[in-house]
Amino acid sequence: MTLFRGAPFPTGVSTVEQIDPTTGGDTPLITGRTDAIGLRPMKTRSATSYLVLQYASAGPFFQGPGLVLRFDDPAGPPTVIASCLSHPTSMTLNEKTRTLYVTEEAGDVVAISFTP
């Protein structure tokens, strides 16, 4: 679950939290993000990587383009998948066509070729 922190939405305070289904407790999984609004786990046989959608790339108050970041290791640095998004709102991955679709506030849908 992503936590989109409050105004003035500073750089580096948004997190991705991991929820324990038994206890309901949460712990940070990915930290140091800016305006994280979406998460897409991608499982393979041996590992899980994560796509994180960020509304903006810097703070305060939504500076810079929206981003899609890939984390192969939640504690490691991300790989930038897309850095051209204008106020993104959600994302989904079509695994058959290997296309990541990102919606934007203006109603646009951005298609990004992607290899999970």
Q: Distance between CA 59 and CA 10 in Å, rounded?
A: 4
pLDDT tens sequence across 22-33:
999 999 999 988
Q: Distance between CA 101 and CA 107 in Å, rounded?
A: 12
Taking the model in full, what pTM does it have?
0.86
What confidence score (pLDDT) does residue 59 get?
65
**In this structure, is the dihedral angle defined by the CA atoms of residues 11, 20, 102 and 78, taken in order, positive or negative?**
positive
Portion of the chain with pLDDT greater than 70, in percent: 96
Bridge partners of residue 82, in order along the sequence: 68
Residue whose token pair is 């499982």: 43
Cα angle vertex 24, ends 5, 40, to 5°?
55
Among residues 82, 78, 72, the alpha carbon closest in space to that of 102 is found at 82
